[in-house]
């Protein structure tokens, strides 16, 4: 960069967008966080996450594996056993993600308030004729 001009399309902004496209989906962060303190098996994760479908667990894990955030180890036993574990890269991602989590924690109420105020404001706009409630 030769100037103060922040080019939104290149460099770091592209990077954030790409990472967000990866971990911004419905399950990735949950999975990364779950693997924080050690390897887990497939069905173990499926039970822990509550609401995730087998399909989405597979797809999400494949995606994370492809990006090098998670490693997959197959034990050729019967019945088969597969362990998923965070790679060093995956672990390193936890820091910025947890920073975001703490921001979320700290501001959840603030955001809820803002939403409530916004909704009241916009509701008021669609009913600008005095303060009376609509009486059918």
Partner DNA sequence: CTGTATCCTTAGAGATACTG
Partner DNA sequence: CAGTATCTCTAAGGATACAG
Nearer to DNA, 4 or 76 (CB): 76
Per-residue x/- track, 54-93, DNA (CB under 7 A): xxx-xx-xx---------x-x----xxxx-----------
> What is the Cα–Cα distance from 112 to 96, expressed in whole angstroms?
23
Cβ(72)–Cβ(58) below 8 Å: no
Q: Which residues bind a second copy (CB under 8 A)?
A: 6, 8-9, 11-13, 15-21, 23-26, 29-30, 33-34, 36-37, 48-50, 65-68, 89, 92-93, 95-105, 107-108, 110-111, 113-115, 117-119
Cβ(36)–Cβ(29) below 8 Å: no
Cβ(34)–Cβ(40) below 8 Å: yes
SS3 readout for 59-73: HHHHHHHHCCCEEEE
We find the least distance from the C-beta atom of residue 136 to a second copy, in angstroms, to be 28
- Which parts of this chain interact with DNA (CB under 7 A)? 25-27, 41-44, 51-56, 58-59, 61-62, 72, 74, 79-82
């Amino acid at each position: 960069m030769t100037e103060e001009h922040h080019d939104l399309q290149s460099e770091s902004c592209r990077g954030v967008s790409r990472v967000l496209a990866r971990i911004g989906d419905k399950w990735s962060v949950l999975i990364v966080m779950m693997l924080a303190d050690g390897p887990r098996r497939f069905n173990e994760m499926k039970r822990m996450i509550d609401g995730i479908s087998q399909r989405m667990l597979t797809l999400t894990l494949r995606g994370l594996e492809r990006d090098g955030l998670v490693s997959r180890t197959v034990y050729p036993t019967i019945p088969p056993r597969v362990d998923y574990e965070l790679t060093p890269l995956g672990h390193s991602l936890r820091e910025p993600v947890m920073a975001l989590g703490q921001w979320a924690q700290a501001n959840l109420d603030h955001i809820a308030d803002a939403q409530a105020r916004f909704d009241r404001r916009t509701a008021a706009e669609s009913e600008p004729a005095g303060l009376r409630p609509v009486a059918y």
